[in-house]
A and B are shown apart, each in its own frame.
Chain A
Amino acid sequence: MKTIFAAAITETVAQLCIQANTHLPPDIAAALDRRRREEPWPLAQKTLDLLWDNMELAGEARLPICQDTGMACVFVELGQDVHIEGDFEEAIHAGVRAGYEQGYLRKSIVSDPLRRVNTGDNTPASITVHLVPGDACTITVAPKGFGSENMSRLAMLKPSDGAEGVKAFVLETVRLAGPNPCPPIVLGVGIGGSFDKVAYLAKKALLRPIDQRHSDPYYAALEQELLRSINETGIGPQGFGGETTCLGLSIETAPTHVAGLPVAVNVSCHVTRRATARL
């Protein structure tokens, strides 16, 4: 049994909020760099260069890469041999509160979806906890902007729709989104599970480094095929035309019901942020 104090969780979450908002993960930065070198359309190349310059400037000036510093989505893998001294969830919220204040990050959360009053400190965080073997506590903060989040979609397809139906739904989602999610986009696709689970799978897919393919070769091939198709739409960076519409696409799957084929597409932009620490 290992004891982790709530204060350590708060401190860690605060640092992760700032880190995630000012530095892109290495896999996203590498993909952006490669794409800007390979992009054949001049205007698109110029736009990708601007995004690259912006990323570098943000790191140097400690400015957020994007002004929408997002809803703080916090994912915790909690070892079952860990004892938390203090209030676990409150410790996370306190970390978000501190990180968004100290990092000069934007507070974008309203306390009620219809009456819409800003909470003023970007809390509450959206917290997802998984119990895992061992005595470690791994925390990932993935701030999610809503320009792209709003373009996400979910469908309960028929089993007979099959892989073709899934592909058509993903491409339809990309076309409907067009320029709105600030392409180049990053997509997380969930397939299977139930109505609620499939949305979680899509979100979880965005946590995987985009240069890491699905462990099942069938889905790895589907990821590659979808990425190719999306980059043939011509939408391009910012929707101004070009090849680079999508930097990466990851699929997560789960067993599902004999009667169903849920599919969810979580749309993210090139500012796909995540920072992880292990306590």
Chain B
Amino acid sequence: MQYHLTTPATREALAPLRAGDTVFLSGVVYTARDAAHKRMMELLDAGKPLPFPVEGCAIYYVGPTPERPGAVIGSAGPTTSGRMDAYAPRLLDLGEAIMIGKGKRSQEVKEAVVRNGAVYLGAVGGAGALMAKSVKSLEIICWEDLGCEAVRRLVVEDFPLTVILDSQGGDLYLSGPQAYLSSRG
């Protein structure tokens, strides 16, 4: 199935998504990797607000290359999501609706996805130039000292993604290879 979704996303909008579906995402997406996640946890520990509204938000695990003059963004493919596993359940429980990245997630993250009716979407790893085409604007909103890891507010249009983890416990990394192998008999 194919879905067109916009952010912020509601639980209801995400409910029909199943592992393997294609999603074209439009709206605001925030970028954060390891260092930014660590700082967000420190803010939460100190009882301070996060740098962006978390309810229904989409966080893209990406550190883009510097943009050429006149370009919106450089190459912008996903980084390995597993490094954010320690932080993701806390953000999901606070309302984060969509995680975008690539690679395996922990059991804790899978449970938090189901518990909160969230989704984990895969961007095409190693296709940074192609992913950049969907990004219409970029603004660094905090922690510029982190360079490529600074938090950016992207506006994306029809960003092509694949559902990896769905709210029913589906996992494309299990079902995809299984479906292929059983097709071979």
Q: Which residues of A contact B (CB under 8 A)?
A: 41, 43-44, 47, 50-51, 53-54, 57-58, 61-69, 104-108, 116, 118, 120, 147, 150, 178-180, 182, 233-236, 238-243, 269-271
A63, A120, A240, A243: the one contacting B65 at CB < 8 Å is A63
Knowing A63-B75, A178-B104, A182-B102 are in contact, say whether A271-B126 is a contact too (CB < 8 A): yes
Give 16 A-B contacts (CB < 8 Å), ordered by A residue.
A54-B127, A62-B68, A65-B75, A65-B126, A106-B75, A120-B147, A147-B103, A179-B102, A180-B80, A238-B124, A241-B172, A241-B175, A241-B178, A241-B180, A242-B177, A269-B126
Question: Hey, which chain A residues are within 8 Å of B66, CB to CB?
Answer: 104-106
- Asked if A64 and B74 sit within 8 Å, CB to CB, the answer is yes
- Asked if B128 and A180 sit within 8 Å, CB to CB, the answer is no
Question: Hey, which chain B residues are within 8 Å of A178, CB to CB?
Answer: 103-104, 173
Q: Which residues of B contact A (CB under 8 A)?
A: 20, 35, 62-68, 74-77, 79-80, 82, 102-104, 122, 124-130, 132-133, 146-148, 162, 172-173, 175-181, 183
Knowing A54-B127, A58-B129 are in contact, say whether A238-B102 is a contact too (CB < 8 A): yes
B67, B125, B132, B180: the one contacting A269 at CB < 8 Å is B125
- Asked if B104 and A66 sit within 8 Å, CB to CB, the answer is no
Complex: how many Å from CA A68 to CA B125? Answer: 10
B20, B79, B148, B173: the one contacting A147 at CB < 8 Å is B79
Main SS at interface, chain A: loop
Question: Hey, which chain B residues are within 8 Å of A54, CB to CB?
Answer: 124, 126-130
Complex: how many Å from CA A178 to CA B171? Answer: 13
Question: Hey, which chain B residues are within 8 Å of A68, CB to CB?
Answer: 63, 77, 79, 128
Distance from A137 Cβ to chain B, minimum over Cβ atoms (Å): 29
Question: Hey, which chain A residues are within 8 Å of B74, CB to CB?
Answer: 63-64, 67, 104, 106
Complex: how many Å from CA A63 to CA B75? Answer: 6
- Asked if A240 and B128 sit within 8 Å, CB to CB, the answer is no
- Asked if A67 and B64 sit within 8 Å, CB to CB, the answer is yes
Complex: how many Å from CA A243 to CA B181? Answer: 9
- Asked if A64 and B75 sit within 8 Å, CB to CB, the answer is yes
A51, A62, A150, A243: the one contacting B127 at CB < 8 Å is A51
Complex: how many Å from CA A170 to CA B58? Answer: 36
Knowing A64-B75, A234-B178 are in contact, say whether A50-B130 is a contact too (CB < 8 A): yes
- Asked if A66 and B68 sit within 8 Å, CB to CB, the answer is no
Tally A-B pairs: CB < 8 A: 150
- Asked if A104 and B65 sit within 8 Å, CB to CB, the answer is yes
Knowing A106-B65, A234-B178 are in contact, say whether A182-B129 is a contact too (CB < 8 A): no
Complex: how many Å from CA A235 to CA B177? Answer: 5
Of A58, A66, A67, A106, chain B has the most CB atoms within 10 Å of the CB of: A67
Question: Hey, which chain B residues are within 8 Å of A150, CB to CB?
Answer: 80
Q: Which residue of chain A lies nearest to B34 when distances are taken between CB atoms in the complex?
A: A116
- Asked if A104 and B177 sit within 8 Å, CB to CB, the answer is no
- Asked if A50 and B127 sit within 8 Å, CB to CB, the answer is yes
Question: Hey, which chain A residues are within 8 Å of B183, CB to CB?
Answer: 41
Question: Hey, which chain A residues are within 8 Å of B133, CB to CB?
Answer: 57
Q: A54-B129, A107-B147 are in contact. List 16 more A-B contacts (CB 8 A).
A: A41-B180, A44-B180, A51-B127, A54-B127, A67-B62, A68-B128, A104-B66, A104-B67, A178-B173, A180-B82, A180-B102, A238-B102, A238-B122, A241-B181, A243-B180, A269-B126
- Asked if B177 and A234 sit within 8 Å, CB to CB, the answer is yes
Knowing A182-B126, A236-B177 are in contact, say whether A118-B147 is a contact too (CB < 8 A): yes
Complex: how many Å from CA A94 to CA B126? Answer: 27
Q: Which residue of chain B lies nearest to A119 when distances are taken between CB atoms in the complex?
A: B147
Distance from B22 Cβ to chain A, minimum over Cβ atoms (Å): 9
Question: Hey, which chain B residues are within 8 Å of A51, CB to CB?
Answer: 124, 126-127
Complex: how many Å from CA A269 to CA B126? Answer: 8
Complex: how many Å from CA A58 to CA B68? Answer: 13
Complex: how many Å from CA A61 to CA B147? Answer: 23
- Asked if B129 and A241 sit within 8 Å, CB to CB, the answer is no
